[in-house]
Structure 1
Amino acid sequence: MKTRPTTQLVPHTVDGKTRMVPVHVDAPAPPRDWDRFVLNGVTGIAAIVLTASVVWSTASIGDLLAHAVIEPAAYGAAVVFDLAWIACMAVEWLARYDEDRAALPRWAGHVMLVLAMLAVGAHGKVAGYWEIGLIGAAVSALAKGLWTVVLRHQTPPLDERTRAWIQGELADAGASLALIPVRRQLQRAQGQVDAERAAIASADRGSADPDRPDESADDPDADIIGIRPGAVTTKDAVRIAWDSGFRDEQACARYVAKVTGSMPSPDTVKRYLRLLKNAAS
């Protein structure tokens, strides 16, 4: 039986204290997975074929388009033909567990492949070698066909009920993701409403009453600031500014000063903003 060196953690006790220490041992080596070996080889072959297809198509279509535009633009547009159906094939692979979602990229990939093949064939005709055009167009078809076989082999078969269950799970996850921007918009709107109300309340408290007579000598000292029940605190003002979209510390401090009537401590504003950032993350 084949073995291979490996490291295992074993308990070791010294002076009554036990620790897990690494020990080098020879463990049985697992048998070679020939199925995985063959699949990796086929995938490598498919990658080489795909690369050759992109190079050939880009060279052919680029040479065809170079008759009308400069070469950099021609070859830049030529590479789009193969990249388009390759991207559709990748999206089809990502949607392999949902046959309904995979149908559109599969259909679009076939259409884009046909367009690429027609462009390669047109280059052969313009060059005077229609046989080369047909063979070159077949290269793209072979590349996509090989990748389709490889991807279909790696796609696990699912029964109808399992696919329906997966679609339900994806729908629930999609609904949760969709609610995130909605809740963010609601919080932003509510923050703007709270900020507007706080600003109006602050303006009402700071405005003079034209119908009130002049203060008498018995009025409280103007230097003494009375406690106002329900006044907006620095923490509340920072939270309102955060909900309204303020992220800069100086801008937030100016807003807090406007709402509360006094300039807050920069450290206090920074601390409250840090707490809100941690809560949001």
Structure 2
Amino acid sequence: MPRTRTVERSRLVPHTIDGTTHLVLDRYEEKVPLPPRDWDRLVLTGVTAAAAVIGVASIIWSTASIGSLLDLVVPLTAAAYAAALVFDLVWLSCMALEWLARYDQERAVLPRRAGYVALGIAMGAVGAHGWIAGEFAIGCVAAAVSGLAKVMWSVVLRHHAKPLDSHTQQWVDAERAKAGGRLAMVSVRRELTRAEEAVAAERAALSGASGPSPDADPDRPEARVENPDDEETPATTGPMTIADAVRTAVSSGITDPDAVLRYVRKVADANAKESSVERYLRTVRRPA
């Protein structure tokens, strides 16, 4: 008989009281068959857990051995064992980077090679401790602990690795390059913005120190081209009322209501209302 498990489900059912029917929630239990046990996944999980335990044991063993070696020349024992911890952590970190690159064999090459180099240094340090202690054979056996841990993790990672075919790998590389370009442009734009702000601040400081810049000279032809309204503004001869200012502007060829309003506020009343200027403007334009 296949194995089953009980699952609680719910459904809406009609329920009537005094002739009024409502849909209510009805909870019930149902037995569903269990899928067959995935022994492959269980074995792989167990092997990965065993590799993790072996890695921790290797760190402890190497740290104790190399720390004892460094303690011979380092006055502070804690510093010696802290430095000894680095030896195994380096190659284990390289293994972690190799795991992250398990879908890209080309990127996994560098951390794999760096891990082997770090492992060789760690094993050499452990063996040197045994040789200095007069037990070279024991030192070699002790160094083999880190080597076995590395071999175990290499086998596990190789089993987890899922290499991509050539076309899929090229597609992934293109997408990664596109995303990397967008990410790089964020930093580049931030750098350009800082540079432009620095240039603007420098120009403002120099302009304030040396007086008005040539760009601000209204007599220059470039300034007149950029501000055509200034050429149309008639010269003021003295205090004006709003009506006089409107008549002067119209007689000078200024017909745009906004330009007339700006002229009135410039020569007559800085607080002139737009409605008042429009009223005088209609009066001036009205045929006699």
- 1:35 aligns to what SS in structure 2? helix
Identity of aligned residues (%): 50
Which of 120, 126, 129 in structure 1 is aligned with 2:132? 126
> 1:166 — aligned with what?
172
After superposing on structure 2, the runs of 4+ consecutive aligned residues of structure 1 that deviate more than 6 Å are 191-200, 219-222
> TM-score, normalised on structure 2?
0.65
* Bigger RCO of structures 1 and 2 (CA < 8 A, at least 6 apart): 1
The alpha carbon displacement at 1:21 in A equals: 6.5
| Aligned 8 A contact 1:98 1:167 in 2 | no
> 2:62 — aligned with what?
57
- 1:141 aligns to what SS in structure 2? helix
Which of 69, 75, 79 in structure 2 is aligned with 1:73? 79
- 1:158 aligns to what SS in structure 2? coil
Which stretch shows the higher mean deviation, 174-183 or 8-17? Answer: 8-17
**Amino acid in the other structure paired with 2:181:** A
The alpha carbon displacement at 1:102 in A equals: 1.1
Name the Cα RMSD after superposition: 3.7
Cα separation, partners in 2 of 1:189 and 1:17, compared to 1, 3 Å: farther
> 2:109 — aligned with what?
103
Task: Report 1:202-241 matches (<5 A).
Answer: 225=270
Point out where structure 2 has 5 or more consecutive residues left out of the alignment: 213-236, 242-264, 273-288
The alpha carbon displacement at 1:182 in A equals: 2.2
Cα separation, partners in 2 of 1:190 and 1:125, compared to 1, 3 Å: same
> 2:257 — aligned with what?
none
Give CA-to-partner distance per residue, 1:174-210, whole Å, 9 cap, x none.
122222222333455566778899998xx98xxxxxx
The alpha carbon displacement at 1:116 in A equals: 0.1
Task: Report 1:1-281 matches (<5 A).
Answer: 1-13=2-14, 23-69=28-74, 70-188=76-194, 225=270
> 1:251 — aligned with what?
none
Give CA-to-partner distance per residue, 1:192-233, whole Å, 9 cap, x none.
778899998xx98xxxxxxxxxx96659799x7559xxxxxx
> 1:257 — aligned with what?
none
Structure 2 CA distance, aligned partners of 1:107 and 1:8? 54
Which stretch shows the higher mean deviation, 112-121 or 176-185? Answer: 176-185
Give CA-to-partner distance per residue, 1:106-128, whole Å, 9 cap, x none.
11100000000000000000111
Give CA-to-partner distance per residue, 1:237-266, whole Å, 9 cap, x none.
xxxxxxxxxxxxxxxxxxxxxxxxxxxxxx
**Amino acid in the other structure paired with 1:56:** W
Give CA-to-partner distance per residue, 1:80-104, whole Å, 9 cap, x none.
0000000011111111222221111
Point out where structure 1 has 5 or more consecutive residues left out of the alignment: 205-214, 228-281
> TM-score, normalised on structure 1?
0.66
Structure 2 CA distance, aligned partners of 1:82 and 1:159? 33
